[in-house]
Structure 1
Amino acid sequence: MPPNPYSKLPPRAFWRTAISEVHYAELADLWEPLALSRQDRIATAGSCFAQHIGNNLARRGAAFMDLEPPPPSLFASVADARRFGYRVYSCRYGNIYTARQLTQLFDEAFGRRNPQESVWQRDGRFFDALRPSVDPVGQASAEQVLMLRQAHLAKVREMFQTLNLFVFTFGLTEAWVSRTDGTAFPIAPGTICGEFDATRYEFQNFTYPEIAEDMGRFWSGLREINPRARLLMTVSPVPLTATASGEHVLVATTYSKSVLRAAAGDLARQLPDACYFPSYEIISSHPSRGMFYDPNLRTVNEFGVNYVMSHFFSGKLAQAFDASPEAAPAGDSELVCDEEALDRK
């Protein structure tokens, strides 16, 4: 056979040698691990699945940033602290499902944006509308909520100014936004708290161009205040809990994940010091035969999480961090997900 562009490609480039002839547990070379040291300050944000990466980084000895730890002796267990938004991400912002949420949080933290609506109510208590799940009992007044939000934003500023690597997991394209100023909320009003009013809120299913533009604007802003920052993007393999698009939830999930995967891949090629890790492909692609999902075919089981992490901590990262970390403390592996409120009947 005469030489052609495929003649000298490695085995990983061919389906037969990379997939068909290899047991799925023996897959290799799925990504080129980035260079990290134990001194690099790493922050995480995004959808629920991002919590697994943060937990594993911390247990393996990375300099995982936790800028809003729980007050000493306030909670009886890790699980209790996580229920109030502590030990979940690098700051206590709860789930950030969309690129629009991330961009707006960054702009607000640096005084570039002031959302017109940031307090919701429920049963006489007041909640932060932009992170409603981090305070299950709420506050006695709107003023207290706003005061706590300012303290939170100060920590978010510190995080962005001092991190070396920002890990962001894309979760959704769907969101509910304010008709007044376009504020994107992590959950629909009226689910965890607040009241739904169709004259005040509208459904938005973000498109590829909108997501790419949001992330590009966020990255430009971050590099402006922190030129040494790097970006690692992933896509959550967890399907949608529910969709407001009018489509079947399977079709809506496929659309959402396809758009997010395409955006993350192109951004990783276009943005300086940005890369992509294929957690989505490892868990959800058809060669895995769905074995990494729980019986509900939505949540990822512990075996799947561990398999993803074995690929993440490969190559250079395997040399820099512990290969076999200690087991997670009780309550540390249970994900905190705003989206699950959509399925409460």
Structure 2
Amino acid sequence: MKIKKDTVALSLGSCFSAEMGRRMAEAGMEVCVNPFGVLYNPASVASSLLRLADGRPFGPEDVIPRDTNPVREGRPRKAVSPEHRPIAPEGGGYVSFHHHGSFARKTPEEFLEHANAALAQASEAFRRARTVIITFGTAWVFRHLERDIIVSNCHKHPAWEFRRERLSVEDIVSLWAPVLERFSDRHFILTVSPIRHLKDGLHGNQLSKATLLLAEDILVRTCPNAEYFPSYEIIIDELRDRTWFETDGAHPTQAAVDIVWDRFKNAMQIL
């Protein structure tokens, strides 16, 4: 596939999708990147894409408090450093289970104004876009028990509000095959983030990535408007040496991301 620089693109998913989207913008392309903030799991990415495609605004029922430094069970949580705090007061502000914490605002009204402005802009971008880049980060999800929804972010709410689950290959395919069929006039580039989710444990991370890879393989074989880009394999299998990762052992270095970008640019023949 050739991607011309005047192509409008949408990039959704993990922080790796944000990195690729940023590179595309620097190359002169018009690209909308993560209008809900970083999303990690396939269910949240799918629901977010459908919401912006339908232009469904967020309402007061979606707003939740976000506590950045609560005390649970007698133990204070680790404080968030000032440079990483969203635009919210010490108490944490307001956000939704559909958004990354960077969307938090001081009041529910400010959050809704910000979230719906981003949604409207993304809806227009998706209407014009013909290329959609989707990056899955993990098959592990958290289901909010009272609302019975898979959340994009737990926002430091207590653990008893959620049940941790791992999506199956069948779950992901059943979510995404109808999405790809509905938007058959768009070209989807599917990829798996090479960022390791070490909180799942090394074995849990491997099971998660394998699930994502198998699901995307089925989708690209059965959906003619989808293709796969091997960002995961480039980092994990080709480079693989620890020197290509940051000191946290999870995130690729900028040099590694440069290599993936060059491969992506060549594979997509960005003109």
Does the alignment reach a TM-score above 0.5? yes
Supply the AA of the counterpart residue of 2:8. R
* Equivalent residue, structure 2, for 1:120: 65
State the one-letter code of the partner of 2:204. Answer: A
More helix by share: 2
State which of 192, 204, 216 in structure 2 corresponds to 1:235. Answer: 192
Structure 1, unmatched stretches of 5+, are 1-33, 67-88, 244-248, 321-345
Deviations 1:164-192 (A, max 9, x none): 100011101112122234322222241xx
Q: 1:93 touches 1:134 (CA, 8 Å); kept in 2?
A: no
Is contact 2:5–2:27 with CA below 8 Å preserved after alignment?
no
Partner Cα separation in structure 2 for residue 315 and residue 149 of structure 1: 34
Judged with a 3 Å threshold, the aligned counterparts in structure 2 of structure 1 residues 309 and 261 are, in CA distance, closer, same or farther, namely same
Rounded to whole Å, the distance in 2 between the matches of 1:316 and 1:203 is: 36
For the aligned residues, what is the CA RMSD? 2.5
Matched-pair identity in %: 19
Matched, 1:173 2:173: no
* 42-51 or 284-293, which deviates more: 284-293
Q: Aligned equivalents of 1:112 and 1:41: distance in 2?
A: 21
Residues 157 and 182 (structure 1), Cα distance of their counterparts in 2 relative to 1, 3 Å cut: farther
Deviation at 1:256, TM superposition (A): 0.6
The aligned runs of 1:254-273 (5 Å cut-off) are: 254-273=206-225
More strand by share: 2
Structure 1 residues 127, 92: CA separation in 2 closer, same or farther (over 3 Å shift)? same
Partner residue, 2:252: 300
> How big is each residue's C-alpha offset from its partner over 1:140-180, in whole Å with a ceiling of 9 and x where there is no partner?
2x233234333332223222211110001110111212223
Matched, 1:156 2:122: yes
Q: Residues 8-47 of structure 1: CA distance to partner in whole angstroms, max 9, x if unpaired?
A: xxxxxxxxxxxxxxxxxxxxxxxxxx22212211111110
> What's the offset of the Cα at 1:111?
6.1
Kindly name which structure, 1 or 2, has the bigger radius of gyration based on alpha carbons. Answer: 1
1:131 equivalent among 99, 102, 105: 99
Gapped regions of structure 2 (runs ≥ 5): 68-90
- Count residues in correspondence: 246
Q: Which amino acid aligns with 2:172?
A: I
> Contact 2:36/2:115 (CA < 8 Å) preserved in 1?
no
Q: Give the conservation status (yes or no) of the 8 Å contact 1:189–1:196.
A: no
Report the TM-score when normalising by structure 1.
Answer: 0.65
